[in-house]
Amino acid sequence: MSTVTAKQLHQETRAVLNQLEQGESLVITRNGRRIGRIEPLAATTPAGWGEIMGEVWRAQKGVKPGERVPNPVLQDRQRRRR
């Protein structure tokens, strides 16, 4: 874990963020006292389409055919194509 002064953080922000982006945790000091810590975020995997749309698909299945309302955007597209 590297130490970075508050002054360095202010003056060399890009370099400090580059260190952080490379996975390095940093301790911030001011006047020789430790005042905080900056840690990189854990790498996350993007959500898959099924995870994003799952709630929508479940809700759609719960709507009875007679209660369905046509999508106005799709209706407008179809009207324009004619």
Chain segment 8-53, per-residue pLDDT in tens: 999 999 999 999 999 999 999 999 999 999 999 887 778 899 989 9
The answer as to whether 26 is a domain residue is: yes
Which domain, by its residues, includes 23?
Answer: 2-38
Residue 78, domain member (yes or no):
no
**Which residues face 2 on adjacent strands?**
26
Give the count of beta carbons closer than 10 Å to the beta carbon of residue 26.
20
The CATH number of residue 34's host domain is 3.40.1620
Residue 76 lies in a domain: no
- Structure pTM? 0.51
Q: Which two tokens stand for residue 46?
A: 């993007």
In a domain, residue 13? The reply is: yes
- Is 38 or 70 the better-scoring residue by pLDDT? 38
- In which residue are the tokens 């001011």 written? 30
Q: How many domains does the chain have?
A: 1
Q: Which segments of 1-82 are extended strands (E)?
A: 2-5, 26-30, 33-38
Q: Residue 14 has which token pair?
A: 């890009």
For 24, the token pair is 């390095």
